[in-house]
Amino acid sequence: MFSRHLRLFLSTAALLLASWSAQAAQATVAVAANFAEPLRALAAVLEKTTGHRLEIVVGATGRLYAQIANGAPFDLFLAADQATVAKAESEGLTAPGSRFLYATGQLVLWSARPDLVDKQGQVLRQDGWRRLAVANPRTAPYGAAAMQTLAQLGLTQALAPRLVQGESIAQTYNFAHTGNAELAFVALSQVLEGGRLKSGSMWVVPAQYHEPIRQDAVLLKRGARNEAARALVKLMQSPAGQDLIRSFGYTF
């Protein structure tokens, strides 16, 4: 009698467990630092609606690529540019045909001080600040866009002695947030909260100053059949997902 109940209980539990694990998968997502916050918001939506869970690895696009090329166990790669993703594709690291544009980024000049940055970015030509932080242009596309902006403004030479580099856009923001650098070129997504500037002051860099920051995503070989990774891709391409991405200051 007792053992029959136990058997019934165990088989039901096993059945439930099996169906749950078939539904709720887990994926590891490598994401460029600028998109870390939006991805966390997307992951929360994904977990609530499907039960799928995401492990999130944040870094500079170049570093993440180097890790992927050396066998890092990632399922999905959200880069801050298109070139790096194209390179991963040509090296056969990705699931064929899975590449897509998931956002176009917006560069801003930001300061933790509420009165420092004006609406035209004239502060770059003035005194009253010591350090300007940019992400390493060799590895971070937002850093490359920042350097293009300085070149367009004709300030590359003049400001070179005041530049400091963060190894990713996250560290760059951190330098400005602690006030160690008064100014920083960062992603709009980092300084927005609920569609509004969190704190400090900023200049939204006009599009003509740099190449557009088109950001591609791609399923990696390992993630080709991963349910959670595929569900995230679907969410990011849905109108609701794109609205969420837009609310962080991105366009398409």
Residues near another protein (CB under 8 A) = 60, 62-63, 65-66, 69, 130-131, 133, 136, 138-139, 163-167, 175, 178-181
Toward another protein, which CB reaches closer, 131 or 246? 131
Toward another protein, which CB reaches closer, 165 or 247? 165
Residue 81 CB, nearest approach to another protein (Å): 14
CA neighbours within 13 Å on the CB side: how many for 250?
27
Closest CA to 209 of 236, 185, 230: 185
The span from the CA of 56 to the CA of 81, in Å, is: 18
Residue 110 CB, nearest approach to another protein (Å): 16
The contacts of residue 208 (CB under 8 Å, 6+ apart) are 152
Toward another protein, which CB reaches closer, 139 or 226? 139
Toward another protein, which CB reaches closer, 162 or 246? 162
Toward another protein, which CB reaches closer, 151 or 160? 160
Closest CA to 172 of 181, 57, 197: 181
Toward another protein, which CB reaches closer, 24 or 164? 164
Q: In what order do the strands lie in the sheet with 163-166?
A: 163-166, 132-135, 183-187, 107-111, 201-204
The span from the CA of 108 to the CA of 127, in Å, is: 19
71 and 218 Cβ atoms separated by less than 8 Å: no
The contacts of residue 247 (CB under 8 Å, 6+ apart) are 194, 195
Residue 124 CB, nearest approach to another protein (Å): 18
Q: Do the strands 76-78 and 213-219 form a parallel or antiparallel pair, or are they unpaired? A: antiparallel
Toward another protein, which CB reaches closer, 24 or 66? 66
